[in-house]
Structure 1
Amino acid sequence: MKAPLGYLALLLHAHLPFVRHPEHEECLEEDWFFEALTESYIPLLWVFDELFLSGVAFKLSLSLSPTLCTMLKDPLLLQRYERYLSKRIELCSKEIDRYGADPIRLALAQFYRERFQAVWTAFTQSYEKNLLGQFKKHQEQKTLELITSTATHGYLPLLRNPKEAVKAQIFVGIESFIDCFQSYPKGLWLPECGYYPRVEVILQEADIKWFVLEANGILLSRPRPCFGLFCPIYTPAGPAAFGRDNLSSKEVWSAEGGYPGDPDYREFYRDLGFDAELNYIKPYILPSGQRKFTSIKYHRITGSCDHKELYEPKKAQEKAKIHAEDFIHKRERQIIKAAQFLPRSIKPIVFCPFDCELFGHWWFEGPLFLKELLKKASQSEVLALTTPSEYLSFFPTHQICQPSPSSWGWGGHSKMWLNETNDFIYPPLHEAAHLLTGLIRKHRKADGSVLRCLKQAARELLLAQASDWPFLISRSTAKEYATSRITSHLNRFFELCSCIMHKKINKSLLEYCEYTDNIFPKLDLNHFS
C-alpha cells in the first residue's frame, strides 16, 4: 500500500459527572450512567471487538474521565445497573405481549429486547462487569490510545484562583488514570477544551505530551500557525496542541444540518416512558410517579413536525453506512487539498474529537456509523488513521505558537460556564480552594482523623468544581440537581474544614462523606499545595 497523503485522527471523549446516591434506592440522575453504558460504551466495545477480530486496521483515541472510570468500577452502581437492565428486559417482554397484533411495533419490541439481552450478556459474561479492562485490552492491542482528563472535569480557566486548584485537577486526574490502567497517559483532555495561557506549564510539569484545543485556540495563536488546523503546534512550555476540525464537527455534531438529524434515524425524545399510559408504565418510572426515559423508542425523527413515523432499524442502518462513506470522502478531499500547500517534510492531519456519548446515546446509530467509518478509512488510499502520539512520532517538528484563550463552548469562550445564571458558584469555589491550600500547608504532618478530614474536604471541593454543574444550570437542564450538588459538596467541605480548624472532628459526618463521596481513595494532598 502506498504512503497516505495525510492522516485522520478520531478522538472520543467519554465523560459523565460523578453521580452516586447510596442514600436513595432509586435516583433519576444515576440513569445517565446506565443509559450511557447501554447505548454508548458497550456498543462501542462491540465495534472495537468486531473490527479487531475482522482484521480491520483501525486506531483512534479515547479519553476516559476519572469520574467515569470511578463509576465504571463502583460495586453499588454496577449492581444497580444489573437491576436497570433486568427491568428493561421485563418491560420489553410486556411490550411484545401487548403488540402481538401489531407486526411493526411487535418487531420493534423484539428488537429492543434482543438488544437489552445482548447488553446484559456482554456486561455480565463477556466483559465480566469490567469495561475498563476491555478498554485496556484494546490499548494493548494498539487500536486505542487511552488518555485522561482532569480529576472531576473542572473548567480550568475559571478555577485558576488559586493555581493550586488547577494543578490538583490535573495531577489527581493523571494518578487516577495510572491506578485504572497501570500506564502513564501521553495526552490529557482539557475539560470543554477550556484553555488559558500557561496552563501548558502545568501540563509540561505533569509530563503531558499533547492536548486538544477548539479551532479558534489554534487559529488565533501568536504567531499565526502557518498550516492552520492541518498540523499541531507546540506551546512555549512544550506540550503540543491539536485543533478541532471545523467541517467534520458540524457534520457529526449538528442535529439540524448534520448526520444525526436525518429523518430515518431514531427520535431521541419520543420514549415509552412518556408515551405509555401511566398505570402501565408506573413500575418502570420513579416511585414518585415522575416519568423518565426507558430507552425504548418506537419513532424516527421524520421531520421537524410533531408527527413521527415508526422507526425502521434496517433503513437507519443503511443510512449510517451512507453517511460514513460521505464523511470519509469529505476528509479525503480536505487532505488532498491541504497536501498541496504543505511542505513534503510533513503531512496534514484532520483531527476530529467528539463526545463519546453522542455515539449511541444521543445518536442511536452512531456506533454503526463509527464502525463503517473506520472500515472505510482503513481502505482509503488517500488517508490513514492515526493517533496524536503516533503522528508526533512521525512528524516531531512543528511551529511554536502561543494559543489563544478558548473553549468548545458557545462562542468559543467561557460564556456557557460563566454567565448571569451560574456566576454565583465561583466566589465560594475560589474561597474554598484558598482555604484548603492553607489548611494542607498548616497540617503537613497530619495523620489519623485530621488527615482523613483533609482528604475528604479535598474530594468535596473537587466534586463541587465539576464543569457539568454550571453547564446544566446555564442550559436549565437538571438545574435544581446541579445547584444542589454544588451546594451540598461546598457545605460538606466547609463543615469538614471547620472540624479541622476547631480541632473537633465530627466522626459521623466524616464517615458519611467518605461513604457517599468515595472517589479518589488514594488522593495525594501534595497536589493541592
Structure 2
Amino acid sequence: MTREGTFCLVLHSHLPWLPHHGSWPVGEEWLYQAWAHSYLPVVDLLRRFADEGRRDVLTLGVTPVLAAQLDDPYSLRTFHEWLGHWQLRALQASTLWRDDPLLRDLGAAEHRAALRATEALETQWRHGFSPILRSLVDSEVLELLGGPLAHPFQPLLDQRIRSFALRSGLADAALRIGHRPAGIWAPECGYAPGMEDDYAAAGVARFLVDGPSLRGDTSAARTVGSSDVVCFGRDLEVTYRVWSPKASYPGHANYRDFHTWAHEVGLKPSRVTGQQVAPQDKAPYDPALAADTLRVHIKDFVDTVVTRLRRLRERNGREALVVAAYDTELFGHWWHEGPAWLEGVLRALPEAGVRVTTLRGALEAGHLGPPVELPASSWGSGKDWRVWDGEQVADMVEDNAALQKRLLAVEPGAFRDPVLDLAVNEAMLALSSDWAFMVTKDSAADYARRRARVHTERFDALIRGEKAFPLDDRVFGHLDARLL
C-alpha cells in the first residue's frame, strides 16, 4: 500500500481546579461530567488499543492541575456519589419517558452507561488516574505531554515564575507516573519569542503552536530560532473540519444536543435538530440516526486528511505531516458521539494508507523542516493574546502582574515552609489562564473573577500569617517555594 503521509492526533486534557469551589452550574459538576463522558471513554479506547498491541496511537496532554483532581481522594469519593445519582436519574427517566420508545431507550442506555462508569471507577480507577496513565505510557500506546502547574498563560508571566511553573509541572508528572514528559502542550498555545530557551533549560524538546504561528506551513515540525527545541503546528484546514468557531461535525442535526436539558431528570434527551430550533421543539435523540451520520463524518475526515496529505506532497515534493489537535473534553462531554468518532478515525486512517503516530513518532519518521522564528501568538481569538490581555480583562492582567511582584518578593528560608508552599500554590491557581478566558468569552465570568480573587486573597493572607479559611486547595504536595 502506498504511504499517503503521516497524521498525528493530539488531545489536550485540562480543567481548572474545581473541587471545593461550587457545584452547579459551574464547579465540581463540570469535572464530573468531563470525567464520566470524556476521560473514562478515552482511557477505555486507549486501553483497547494497548491490548491490541497498537503503539504510538495518539499524543495526550494532561495538565498537572487536572491530574491532581483525578487523583484526589475527595474528588474520587464525590465522583462516585455523582455516578450513583446518574444511575438514579436514568432510572427515573426510564419511568417518566415510558410512553416514548426513543426516550425510554435513552433512559435505559444512560443507566447502562452509568453502571459501566461506576464499575470502571471502582476497579480500574480506584487509586486515581496516575496508575492508569502510567500503564498507558509504559505500553507506548501514547506519548504524554506535560505542562506548567496550573495552566497559566505563559507569555504574561515573569520569566522566573514561568520557569518555576514549568519545571514544577514536569516534576509533578514524573512523580505521578514515573516519566518526565519530553514535550508539552503550551497552555492556550501561548508563545512569546525567546520562550524556546526556557523550554530548552527545562528539558522540553517539543511543543505545540497554532497553525498561523507557522504562517500555515504545518507540513513538518520546525526547530525554533537557534535552539534544538521543536514546534509542531496545528493544521487548521484539517482540525477545523471537526471543530471550528463557525461550523463543525458536532453541530449536525442528528447528534445529541449539548445545550438542551430535561431538568426534571438532569439528562440531555434531544438531538440538535436545527441551529435555530428552540429547545422545547427539538426532536428526541435517535442513536441510529447519529450512528449513520457518524459513519459519514469518519469517512469525510479520512478523505480530508488523505486529500490534504496528497496536496502537500505535490506542493513540497516530499511526504507530509498533518497535526490535528483538540481539547479532550470535546470528545464525549461536548460531543456525545466524539469517542466513537475517535475510534473510527484512528482505525480507518491506517487502512487508507496514512501513518498514524505521535509527535515523537513524526520526528522519527523524518518530518523535520528548517528552523523558524515564531511570532507572539496563541490559539485564541485573533491568534494573538487578546483573550488573556484584552480590554475586558485589563483589571485581571493588572492584578496578576501585582500578584507576581508580591510573589517574587517572598524570601524563603533554608528549610521548607508548608505555609509558604501553600501560599505559592494559591498564587499558581490565581494565575490560571482559565479565569481570563471565561471572562473574555462571557462564560461564567462572575465565577471566574471570584476564583481569581479568592486565590489571590488566600495568597496574601498566608503571606501575612493568617489562616482563617479552609485549606482545601493543597493541589501540589511537592511544590517547594524555595525553588522559586
TM-score if structure 2 supplies the norm length? 0.94
Residues in 2 aligned to 1:185 and 1:91: alpha-carbon distance in whole angstroms: 40
Equivalent AA in structure 2 for residue 244 of structure 1: R
**2:33 paired with 1:43:** no
Q: SS where residue 417 of structure 1 aligns?
A: helix
Whether the 8 Å CA contact 2:221–2:368 is kept in 1: the answer is no
Whether the 8 Å CA contact 2:254–2:293 is kept in 1: the answer is yes
Question: Paired residue for 1:8?
Answer: 7
Per-residue deviation, 1:394: 2.8
Query: What is the root-mean-square deviation in Å for CA atoms of aligned residues?
Result: 2.0
Residues 132, 434 of structure 1: alpha-carbon distance in 2 compared, 3 angstrom cutoff: same
Equivalent AA in structure 2 for residue 386 of structure 1: T
Question: Paired residue for 2:341?
Answer: 369
Equivalent AA in structure 1 for residue 86 of structure 2: R
**2:328 paired with 1:359:** no
Equivalent AA in structure 1 for residue 188 of structure 2: E
Q: Deviations over 1:147-195 (max 9, x none)?
A: 1121111011222xx2112112211111111111111101111111011
Residues 126, 524 of structure 1: alpha-carbon distance in 2 compared, 3 angstrom cutoff: closer
Structure with max Cα Rg: 1
Runs of 4+ in 1 over 4 A off after TM superposition: 24-28, 54-58
* Aligned pair partner of 2:365 in 389, 394, 404: 394
Equivalent AA in structure 2 for residue 445 of structure 1: A
Per-residue deviation, 1:319: 1.5
* Aligned pair partner of 2:462 in 496, 505, 508: 496
**2:445 paired with 1:445:** no
* Aligned pair partner of 1:198 in 194, 201, 209: 194
* Aligned pair partner of 1:322 in 296, 305, 314: 296
Mapping of 1:287-302 within 5 angstroms?
A: 294=266, 296-302=267-273
**2:120 paired with 1:151:** no
Whether the 8 Å CA contact 1:268–1:362 is kept in 2: the answer is yes
Question: Paired residue for 1:313?
Answer: 287
Number of residue pairs matched by the alignment: 480
Question: Paired residue for 1:181?
Answer: 177
Residues in 2 aligned to 1:404 and 1:185: alpha-carbon distance in whole angstroms: 25
Per-residue deviation, 1:387: 1.1
Equivalent AA in structure 2 for residue 357 of structure 1: E
Question: Paired residue for 1:265?
Answer: 255
Q: SS where residue 353 of structure 1 aligns?
A: strand
Residues in 2 aligned to 1:336 and 1:368: alpha-carbon distance in whole angstroms: 26
Residues 58, 238 of structure 1: alpha-carbon distance in 2 compared, 3 angstrom cutoff: closer
Residues 135, 325 of structure 1: alpha-carbon distance in 2 compared, 3 angstrom cutoff: farther
Whether the 8 Å CA contact 1:167–1:527 is kept in 2: the answer is no
Question: Paired residue for 1:91?
Answer: 89
Residues in 1 aligned to 2:444 and 2:73: alpha-carbon distance in whole angstroms: 25
Equivalent AA in structure 2 for residue 314 of structure 1: A
Mapping of 1:57-456 within 5 angstroms?
A: 59-159=57-157, 162-219=158-215, 228-236=217-225, 237-254=227-244, 256-273=246-263, 276=264, 294=266, 296-304=267-275, 305-306=277-278, 307-344=281-318, 347-381=319-353, 383-395=354-366, 398-440=369-411, 443-447=412-416, 451-456=417-422
Whether the 8 Å CA contact 1:56–1:375 is kept in 2: the answer is no
Residues in 2 aligned to 1:198 and 1:132: alpha-carbon distance in whole angstroms: 32
Equivalent AA in structure 2 for residue 32 of structure 1: W
Per-residue deviation, 1:126: 3.7
Runs (5+) with no aligned partner, structure 1: 221-227, 282-293, 500-505
TM-score if structure 1 supplies the norm length? 0.87
Whether the 8 Å CA contact 2:37–2:333 is kept in 1: the answer is yes
Runs (5+) with no aligned partner, structure 2: none
Q: SS where residue 460 of structure 2 aligns?
A: helix
Q: Deviations over 1:173-220 (max 9, x none)?
A: 111111111111011111110111011111000111100011121118
Equivalent AA in structure 1 for residue 282 of structure 2: K
Per-residue deviation, 1:55: 5.6
Identity %: 25
Mapping of 1:478-493 within 5 angstroms?
A: 478-493=444-459
Q: Deviations over 1:90-122 (max 9, x none)?
A: 111112222233222211111111111111111
Residues 112, 463 of structure 1: alpha-carbon distance in 2 compared, 3 angstrom cutoff: same
Residues in 2 aligned to 1:27 and 1:410: alpha-carbon distance in whole angstroms: 25
Q: Deviations over 1:330-358 (max 9, x none)?
A: 111111121123355xx311011101000
Whether the 8 Å CA contact 2:133–2:177 is kept in 1: the answer is no
Whether the 8 Å CA contact 1:321–1:368 is kept in 2: the answer is no
Residues in 1 aligned to 2:192 and 2:113: alpha-carbon distance in whole angstroms: 44
Equivalent AA in structure 2 for residue 10 of structure 1: L
Q: SS where residue 399 of structure 1 aligns?
A: strand
Q: SS where residue 230 of structure 1 aligns?
A: coil
